[in-house]
Structures are given as C-alpha cells and as structure tokens.
A and B are shown apart, each in its own frame.
Chain A
Amino acid sequence: SQKIEQNSEALNIQEGKTATLTCNYTNYSPAYLQWYRQDPGRGPVFLLLIRENEKEKRKERLKVTFDTTLKQSLFHITASQPADSATYLCALPRLGGYQKVTFGTGTKLQVIP
C-alpha cells in the first residue's frame, strides 16, 4: 500500500542556515507532491506543489525537489528564521482517490536564534 515517510524527529537548526526536510514514499508513482506548513493548534497552510515532470520549484526562500527515481522530495528553507519554526507536512495524491491526498506525519522544524 501507499506509504509516506517523513523524519519524525524534530530538526533543530541555527538561524541563517538552510533547513532540509525529507519526504520519502513507496509503492507508488505520484503525479505531483505538495508541501504544507502547520503551526501548533492551526490548520495546515499550502506552500508549494511540484509535478512529476518538474525537478525543482522555488518560491522566495523555499525550494522543493522531486526525484521520482529515488521516490523522494526534499524541502529546503534557505536563510532560515525563527518564524520558520513549524511542522512541515508533505502530501501525495491518493492511489485511486480522485480528489484526495494522503498527508505525511510531518517534521517539526525549530530554528534557533
């Protein structure tokens, strides 16, 4: 069955450094992948969508890569700031589910001043 893995351990990095988060998936070839940010006690907020024919996508300080051979997406935040501290979720379209996605459990990022 479709499986999504994100590093469940929190990632702590120093302010100004680049944060890199990983989303791995198995048993499946998604047409696209999404990344969301979730703050404590709030709903997720959409950040970026990358399609299978795109190797890389950027938005301001955010960069997402999508390697369909490795079955992996990397999410980078450059020049990280304490305000970037949050949980980051990846989401993939559900196998056979026309309007549905499956979310990973997310990785908690803590940017230390």
Chain B
Amino acid sequence: DAMVIQNPRYQVTQFGKPVTLSCSQTLNHNVMYWYQQKSSQAPKLLFHYYDKDFNNEADTPDNFQSRRPNTSFCFLDIRSPGLGDAAMYLCATSRDSHYEQYFGPGTRLTVT
C-alpha cells in the first residue's frame, strides 16, 4: 500500500545532542511537510518542500533544518535539541497545492 513512513517512531535524545528524524513516501507526491505537534495543540508547520524547493516558516527556529535528497525521502535535523523541542513530529505529503495531506504515524521525540 502507498504510504508515508516515519522512523523511528520513538526517539530519545539528550539535551544538545543532534538528532535526525526520517520520512519516506511511496505516493510519489510533490510536496512534503514537517510539522511539530505538542499535546492538545494544532500541528505547527515547520517547513515544506515543493519538489526541491524548500520553504521555511518564519517562526521556525534555526535549530531545525531539513533535507530532501530525492522525491521519496525527507529528513528533519535538530541540531541542538532543547527540552522545549520534545514533541510529536509529523511528516506529511500532498500531491500538489490544495490537495489533502497524507500523514505518517509520527515520531515522538523525548529530550532528557
């Protein structure tokens, strides 16, 4: 089945220790998104790619970076995680603008 896969599902990292979260898709969608979601809050968009074009949200901290080496894969790098970065990180894809988004299961990040 076509889908969005995120690895790992759970990630524990130490304060200040770089961490990378990964996302892959078999849908061949042009757009890939990274969201941060904290408890009882709306998913918050960090950045997205339209094909290879990277779009950063104005309020996304510099601590968060992303890479999309090809259509199928996208990575979220957190260079120096702080306690406030503990959250669920969601990857999503969309065929194009104004289409529905398909989400992965998320990666729960814990910072100790």
Contact = CB atoms under 8 A, between A and B. Distances in A.
A101 B105 contact: no
Contact of A105 (B41, B101, B102): B41
B75 interface: no
Give the interface size class of chain B.
20 to 34
Q: Interface on chain B toward A: helix, strand, loop, or mixed SS?
A: strand
A94 to B, nearest CB: 8
A99 B48 contact: yes
B105 A46 contact: no
Interface string A90-104: 010100001111111
Contact of B48 (A8, A31, A100, A105): A100
Interface string B24-68: 000000010100000011110100101000010000000000000
Contacts, number: 54
Nearest to B49: A99
Given A99-B48, A100-B48, A44 B43 contact: yes
B94 A99 contact: yes
Given A98-B97, A105-B42, A43 B50 contact: no
B103 A45 contact: yes
Which 4 interchain pairs have the tightest Cβ spacing?
A: A43-B103, A46-B100, A103-B42, A99-B97
29 contacts: A8-B40, A31-B98, A34-B100, A41-B88, A41-B106, A41-B108, A43-B4, A43-B90, A43-B91, A43-B92, A43-B103, A43-B105, A44-B43, A44-B90, A44-B101, A46-B100, A46-B102, A49-B100, A89-B42, A99-B94, A99-B96, A99-B97, A100-B45, A100-B48, A101-B101, A102-B42, A103-B43, A105-B40, A105-B42
